[in-house]
Structures are given as structure tokens and as C-alpha cells.
Amino acid sequence: MKCPKCGDISDKVLDSRSVHDGKIIRRRRECLGCGHRFTTFEEIMHEELRVVKSDGRREDFSRQKIYDGILAACRKRPVSSGQINALVDDVVEDITRLDLTDVKTSLIGELVMRRLETLDSIAYIRFASVYRRFADVGQFKSTIDELKEETKG
């Protein structure tokens, strides 16, 4: 690993530990050239995952887009950034487990909604209204009625 201070490529690992439930390894290193200590992170690189949009276009998968959509739905709700990150991690893990190279936005949306429904009902309604492109108040009402029925039983 190249030292960020002097550029030397010789170093030794002082400490390694798993972070993010074993998905990433954090390594504390020391440059043998200048003695500078620095931290690196190592994670598994997955095959290029592409997202298939509803109009057929394809684009690179973006964890950030999922995060941003959930964050918007949770705005001014009692949902922490840790809960949002955990939700995104779960969705990304589910998608990765499917071992696909192309994933439809409809699948991503359903995975997000399934988790938002149990996390915060208002955020769920907000996300659903954008994801399902509600055209009128009737669709809002229908979704709210469905949510009420599910919470009763």
C-alpha cells in the first residue's frame, strides 16, 4: 500500500479487524519508510451490477440513490441515519444474494417498501407515492387503507 505521506510502498500491518458485520476489513498500517501510520479498508468487489429502468434503459447500480430515496421519504420522521443505512445494507445484501447482473428498479422499490412498511408507515406512504407514481388522492387512500388492515391483523 502506498504511504499517503511519503509515497513509499513498503509497510506493515499493525492491526486488522472486521467492520460492518464482516463485510469490510479495517487495517492499521505503518509505513516502513517514514513511520507514518494510516488506515485502509478492504471489501469484496462484486460484479458490475446494472439497474434496468422502467423504460428499459440501463445504468450502474448506485447504493447512494437508494439511500437518497429513503432519506427523502424519512425526512422529518423519527428515523435515524443508522436505521436508514441498515435498511439500505439489507436491500443491497438481498440484491447481491440474488446473484444477478441486471436488477429491475421494480424489485429494488419492492424491497425498500417492504422494509419501510415496518420501519415507519408515513415514510412508507411517501416512498410508495413516488415509486408507484400515485396520480390522485384515491391511490393514497387505498394504500393507507391497506396499511391499516395489515396493522390490525
In the block, which residue shows the cell 422499490? 109
Domain boundaries, the chain: 11-43, 50-152
- For residue range 95-147, list pLDDT tens digits in order: 888 888 899 998 999 899 899 989 998 898 888 887 666 666 676 677 667 76
- For residue range 63-76, list pLDDT tens digits in order: 899 999 999 999 99
Mean pLDDT of the residues in the chain? 86
Overall pTM surpassing 0.75 (yes/no): no
Cell digits for 129?
Answer: 407515492
- Element of type H or E holding 151: helix 137-152
3-class SS of residue 88: helix
